[in-house]
Amino acid sequence: MSTTKDSSAAAAGLRGVVAAQSKIGDVDGVNGVLIYQGYNIHDLAENSTFEEVVFLLWNARLPKKAELEDFKANFSKNYEVRSEIIEMMKTFPKDAVPMDVLRTTVSALDFYDADGHGTDRENAMHAAIRLTAKMPTLVAAWERIRNGKDVVKPDSSLNIAENFMYMLRGEKPEADEARMMDICLILHADHELNASTFTTRVVAGTLADIYGAVTAGIAALAGPLHGGANTKVMESLLEIDSVENVEPWLDKKLENKEKVMGIGHAVYKTEDPRATWLRKFSKQMGEKTGNMKWYEMSEKLEKLMFDKKGMYPNVDFYSASTYYMMGIPLDLYTPIFAISRIAGWTGHILEQYSDNKLIRPRAEYVGERDLKYTPIETR
């Protein structure tokens, strides 16, 4: 199922290697364009909602009004998580990493879905709806549990973004922040064959169930070079602490040849189109909170990195300060990424199931040959 865009079958990190044909999304790294099922991300962020984008990713078209209402109702009636899962979460160590908790609880959801192992379109779609609806509940529930607070019951009258913020805070979000979170979910929903999405397709290609494939995707997303990068960005900003410290901090990083998180991308050679929106949100949250420090630090760091290295910010760079000014704990940034990316993961899993072929690439062997076994006494 694979071809190559370059002459090297063993390209480092599989750069340029085509591992699947897909209609779900495409990244034009040269021109900085991201599309979902043919629609430009800017068009969707401006006009759409997360639920509508999920429908688009799964069905290759935008829904009609009645279809969207039914789709949203299917999500809202599946927000709630069984008490057995919540009770299990209460036994976890309170310092457990939220992504580890999410990985474990998503896997455990499988126990309570009688049809969750079906790889046919109907059963897999139902499981995808349940997973997408429950992921925000799991993340919000863990934040409450680890802080000794009661878990907030989901509100079926709210959309996914609003309901997540409500369950997290215990009060309904203001309209501007709810819309901001909704667009953040749209921006993170899919990104072609990134590491976690490729992982879900490999697992689904064995005809493993959707819960197993998504659990594997969460494990891949947790890595600091993937979904964990936005947390690292905010840790850097907290370390820098002031606009005046940005340049000396950066110079030291570059001198030591250390990676500056949130800058540069494996595919984009120009600005990540998602960063365009998140830069705006970081500024808006700075204005709203009356604290422009984090936005101004980010802006200066972005400019210096371009001047010194010709590199652009990616999706993680401004999402860090946006979430921070929303009052979201740093270690929830990656779980929020997962709440969104479940849309793309499940879309790719559904696509994989629809015309499945086991994904089994080869490795170029570069080790020794013709070695002879020697008895242990003579080694």
Q: Among candidates 241, 275, 260, which has minimal Cα distance to 310?
A: 260
The reply to whether 33-224+335-354 and 229-325 are identical in fold is no
* CATH number listed for the domain at residues 229-325: 1.10.230.10
Q: What is the pLDDT of residue 227?
A: 83
Confidence of residue 3 (pLDDT cuts 50, 70, 90): very low
Q: What is the pLDDT of residues 156-176, one digit of tens each?
A: 999 999 999 999 999 999 999
Q: What percentage of the chain exceeds 90 in pLDDT?
A: 87
**Cα angle 348, 349, 350; round to 5:** 90
Q: What is the pLDDT of residue 10?
A: 53
- Token pair recorded at residue 174: 């203001």
In CATH terms, 33-224+335-354 corresponds, of 3.90.1720.10, 1.20.970.10, 2.170.120.40, 1.10.580.10, to 1.10.580.10
Active site residues: 265, 316
Q: What is the pLDDT of residue 279?
A: 97
Whether the predicted pLDDT of 130 surpasses 80: yes
- Token pair recorded at residue 263: 């800058």
Q: Among candidates 346, 338, 356, 340, which has minimal Cα distance to 125?
A: 346
Mean pLDDT across 19-41 = 94
Q: What is the pLDDT of residues 78-104, one digit of tens each?
A: 999 999 999 999 999 999 999 999 999
Q: How long a stretch of residues is the chain?
A: 379
- Token pair recorded at residue 204: 């689904």
Q: What is the pLDDT of residues 33-64, one digit of tens each?
A: 999 999 999 999 999 999 999 999 999 999 99
What predicted TM-score, i.e. pTM, was given to this entire model?
0.93
Residue 41: HSE in the Cβ half-sphere, 13 Å Cα cutoff: 27
Q: What is the pLDDT of residues 260-295, one digit of tens each?
A: 999 988 888 899 999 999 999 999 999 999 999 999
* CB contact at 8 A, 189 and 343: yes
Confidence of residue 15 (pLDDT cuts 50, 70, 90): confident
Q: What is the pLDDT of residue 25?
A: 95
* Domains of the chain, residue spans: 33-224+335-354, 229-325
